[in-house]
Structure 1
Amino acid sequence: MPQPGLANWPYHRSSDMVITLIQQSIQGERNDELFYDFLIKLAPTPQEKEVITGIRDDERKHRAMFRTLYTQLTGKAPAVADGAPEQLPASYLEGIEKALLGELKAFEKYRTIYLHINPQYRDWIFEIMTDEIKHAGYYNWLYAKNK
Structure 2
Amino acid sequence: MYGYPVNYVHWPLPVQDGGRRRAVDTTDRSLAAEILQAVHREERAGNFYTRLAELAPTENVKVLITIIKDERLKHLQNFSQLYSRLTGREPQLLREPVPAPESFQRGVELAIRDELEAVDSYRDIVERATDPRIRRAFQRAAEDEQRHSTWYANILLSQGSS
Normalising by the smaller structure, the TM-score range is 0.7 to 0.9
Runs of 4+ in structure 1 over 4 Å off: none
Contact 1:21 1:113 in 2 (8 A): yes
SS of the residue corresponding to residue 92 of structure 2 reads coil
Whether 1:76 and 2:89 are equivalent positions in the alignment is: yes
Unmatched tracts of structure 2, length 5 or more: 1-24
Aligned residue number for residue 62 of structure 1: 75
Aligned residue number for residue 7 of structure 2: none
What's the offset of the Cα at 1:70?
A: 0.2
Number of residue pairs matched by the alignment:
135
Between 1 and 2, higher relative CO (CA 8 Å, sep ≥ 6) is seen in 1
Unmatched tracts of structure 1, length 5 or more: 1-11
What's the offset of the Cα at 1:17?
A: 2.1
The answer to which structure has the higher strand fraction is: 2
The answer to which structure has the higher helix fraction is: 1
Aligned residue number for residue 120 of structure 1: 132
What's the offset of the Cα at 1:16?
A: 2.3
The share of aligned pairs that are identical, in percent, is 30
RMSD of aligned alpha carbons: 1.3
- Alpha-carbon distance in 2 for matches of 1:88, 1:82: 15
Aligned residue number for residue 49 of structure 2: 36
What's the offset of the Cα at 1:18?
A: 1.3
1:71-95 Cα shifts (integer Å, max 9, x gaps) = 111111112321222x532110000
- Alpha-carbon distance in 2 for matches of 1:139, 1:17: 31
SS of the residue corresponding to residue 90 of structure 2 reads coil
What's the offset of the Cα at 1:13?
A: 5.3
Q: Quick one: which of 142, 145, 151 aligns to 1:138?
A: 151
What's the offset of the Cα at 1:48?
A: 0.3
SS of the residue corresponding to residue 135 of structure 1 reads helix
- Alpha-carbon distance in 2 for matches of 1:49, 1:24: 27
Whether 1:92 and 2:85 are equivalent positions in the alignment is: no
- Alpha-carbon distance in 1 for matches of 2:30, 2:97: 25
